[in-house]
Amino acid sequence: MLRRYGQITALLVLGVVQAVVLALSVPMLLLAFMLGVVLLFPWQVRMVRRLAELNRRLVREWTGLEVESPYLPAPPPPVPEPNGMYRSERTLYKTPRVPAWNNRWKWMVKDPATWRDDLWLLLDPMVKVSLLPVFAVIPERALLMYAHWTDLLLGATVASRLAGQVSHLRRTRNLATDSQAAEMRRIERDLHDGTQARLVAIGMTLGAVEQLVDTDPQAAKALLTKARESSAETLTELRRVIRGIHPPVLAERGLADAVRALAMDSPLQVTVTVDLPERPESPVEAAVYFAVSELLSNAARHGDASTAAVDISSHGADLRVTVTDDGLGGADPAKGSGLNGIERRLLAFDGVLALNSPPGGPTTVTLDLPGVLPHEPADKLPRGKAIAIALLWCTAWCPSFPQGVVPAIFKIFGVEEKSWFLALHVPEPWQWPVIFAMIAVGGTMYVMAHHLRANHESRHLPTKLGC
């Protein structure tokens, strides 16, 4: 309990800091937009954002409610045109400094989170003051209520989440494009240096056979035998290249059997465990297959391992792959062990790679690919959130109407009856502030109830759409 009161005290102290920042922000905004001192606006935005981020972090640590950052992705650095100049609308600049500044200015002005931060800066101190009685009586619940208020104004919206996803998809698309180009160069190199050279050699051999078939049949027969052997080797090499593009067993029999076939071809003793209710989509299967292939190859070539274990399992819609070997350990992505390539493959699916490889081994690599398996999302409200929404709807009427609107009407029309209206029992100078505070508390409770439901639905919307 003392810890909660300490946290509430810290929030109130932060409210004092907010009041100071608000006093600075108002003239800065007026000077920026009315007198043209535009340099002040980015400073004001950064100052308020740091304060808002501090508030998000405190709420996250104290209540466990994840308040996502709502800001749109920052603009990329300016790219020079073919003539080496940098364009900002219709003006060209020799350096990227002014275009970059203009882009950041537009980004801050057009980001709705910028103005939501300013609204939070204005309203939050009043909300804290109105919640003081609740803070004093039930600090635990009051902190949760305040956390939802913070999420209402400072949390991510559907638009900001979609903008973040678009930015992330753009980055992963570029990485996927680069990886695909590197893969095509590798295939071209393998075909040029291997298969193509062998086919040229076979053609030259057959040309020699044509010249010798009448004059030296025995030599021609020997060359034909050599050509047949070369064609068999070429076919084997071509099949190897095809498996490097997309193994037929993966397309025909799925990930489980493809990994088992991979284990049989490995020089290691590999055990494979697969627990998947359904087959993932083809791109996911290919990414996992080649990742496991690379990891087993690393264990054999670099780790001096003799045994390995591959476990592929599902956790709802998430796919998890764990590869463990008894090698020497000490694996490091910076040493060019192929782990960076695996990470690039996984980024296309928002996947992550976790590595545990102490010197002396064993090495464990875990691949997590979220939301890639067919899975019916559970969009039902959690019990705690449903109870909170019900309580908010059932109790918000009290401060908003009988303790807020009715005393206001009594004050306006001069009704002397005080009854059980709290605002009419306080000293005269405090009656209107208490009335406004009651209406604000009730309105905030209604907004929080609506926001809890809308926030839950928005967070499940991308899953339902298959995004």
312 domain residue, yes or no = yes
In this structure, the answer to whether residues 305 and 437 fall within a common structural domain is: no
In this structure, the answer to whether residues 387 and 259 fall within a common structural domain is: no
In this structure, the answer to whether residues 21 and 117 fall within a common structural domain is: yes
Task: Give pLDDT, residue 53.
Answer: 93
Q: How many CB atoms lie within 10 A of CB 315?
A: 11
197 domain residue, yes or no = yes
CA angle 205, 208, 214 (to 5 degrees): 135
Rounded Cα gap, residues 405 and 417, in angstroms: 15
Helix, coil or strand: residue 71: coil
Q: Which domain holds residue 235?
A: 183-245
In this structure, the answer to whether residues 214 and 341 fall within a common structural domain is: no
Residues of the chain with pLDDT below 50 are 378, 461-467
The tokens for 367 are 């691949």
Q: In this structure, which amino acid lies at residue 327? A: G
* H helix runs in 306-382, sequence order: 339-347
Beta-bridged to residue 318, according to DSSP, are 315
374 domain residue, yes or no = no
The tokens for 80 are 């020079």
In this structure, the answer to whether residues 6 and 133 fall within a common structural domain is: yes
Give the distance from CA 405 to its chain's centroid.
44
In this structure, the answer to whether residues 388 and 362 fall within a common structural domain is: no
For the chain, give the number of residues. Answer: 467
Q: Are strands 363-369 and 352-356 parallel, antiparallel or unpaired?
A: antiparallel
Tell me whether the omega of the peptide bond preceding residue 362 falls within 30 degrees of 0, making it cis. yes
In this structure, the answer to whether residues 283 and 347 fall within a common structural domain is: yes
376 domain residue, yes or no = no
Out of 200, 228, 245, pick the residue that ends a domain.
245
Out of 245, 266, 292, pick the residue that ends a domain.
245
Beta-bridged to residue 272, according to DSSP, are 310
The tokens for 350 are 């928002």
Distances from the Cα of 366 to the Cαs of 58, 288, 340, 355, in angstroms? 31, 11, 14, 7
DSSP 30-50: HHHHHS--TTHHHHHHHHHHH
- Return phi, psi of residue 310, to 5°: -120, 125
Write out pLDDT tens, residues 310-333. Answer: 999 988 888 999 999 988 888 777
- Return phi, psi of residue 358, to 5°: -70, 155
Beta-bridged to residue 310, according to DSSP, are 272, 323
Task: Give pLDDT, residue 179.
Answer: 63
341 domain residue, yes or no = yes
Residues 6+ apart with CB under 8 A from 371: 317, 318, 350, 463
* H helix runs in 246-319, sequence order: 248-265, 282-301
In this structure, the answer to whether residues 42 and 149 fall within a common structural domain is: yes
CA angle 262, 264, 270 (to 5 degrees): 90
Domain total of the chain: 4
DSSP 7-19: HHHHHHHHHHHHH
396 domain residue, yes or no = yes
174 domain residue, yes or no = no
DSSP 101-122: HHHHHHHHHH-HHHHHHHHHHH
Task: Give pLDDT, residue 245.
Answer: 64
Contact 121, 22 (CB under 8 A): yes
In this structure, the answer to whether residues 363 and 396 fall within a common structural domain is: no
The tokens for 437 are 């505070």
Q: At how many degrees (to 10) do helices 158-190 and 428-464 cross? A: 30
Contact 61, 84 (CB under 8 A): no
Give the DSSP letter of residue 247.
-
In this structure, the answer to whether residues 161 and 194 fall within a common structural domain is: no
Out of 168, 196, 224, pick the residue that ends a domain.
168
Rounded Cα gap, residues 119 and 367, in angstroms: 42
Distances from the Cα of 96 to the Cαs of 75, 84, 85, 101, 181, in angstroms? 13, 10, 8, 8, 29
In this structure, the answer to whether residues 102 and 39 fall within a common structural domain is: yes
Rounded Cα gap, residues 86 and 95, in angstroms: 6
- Is pTM, for the whole model, over 0.85? no
In this structure, the answer to whether residues 232 and 310 fall within a common structural domain is: no
94 domain residue, yes or no = yes
Q: Please, how many CA atoms are within 13 Å of residue 170, restricted to the half-sphere of its CB? A: 9
Q: Are strands 269-275 and 307-315 parallel, antiparallel or unpaired?
A: parallel
